[in-house]
């Protein structure tokens, strides 16, 4: 699954519940977040036991500019590598 951001909210909780439900049926699920709003991913990984990946598209503390644009390009590269090296059936 691909989420725009990771934070304790409704969409993220629903995605985690869906991932856990799919895993209970034998599917392997990875949740990719375009960015981690406030370092929630390590906590969510431990608390819910799901595979979460921070793709690092953004740093909320970083001002817009050339570095901001470069971070998005790097995030696209990380997403591309994740998709190429993973064995995914559905995104």
Tens digits of residue pLDDT in 36-88: 888 888 888 898 888 899 998 877 677 778 888 888 899 999 999 988 887 77
pLDDT, tens digit (0-9, with 9 covering 90-100), for 33-50 = 988 888 888 888 898 888
Close Cβ partners of 58 (under 8 Å, ≥ 6 residues apart): 34, 35, 68, 71, 72, 75
**DSSP conformational letter for 63:** P
pTM for this prediction: 0.78
**Strands ordered across the beta sheet of 51-54:** 2-6, 30-36, 51-54
Distance CA(41)–CA(66), nearest Å, equals 26
């Amino acid at each position: 699954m691909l989420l725009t951001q990771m934070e304790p909210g409704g969409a993220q909780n629903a995605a985690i519940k869906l991932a856990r439900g799919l895993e209970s049926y034998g599917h392997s699920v990875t949740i990719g977040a375009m960015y981690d709003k406030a370092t929630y991913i390590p906590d969510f990984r431990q608390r819910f036991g799901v595979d979460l990946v921070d793709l690092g598209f953004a740093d909320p503390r970083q001002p817009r500019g050339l570095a901001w644009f470069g971070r998005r390009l790097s995030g696209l590269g990380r997403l591309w590598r994740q998709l190429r090296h993973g064995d995914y059936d559905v995104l």
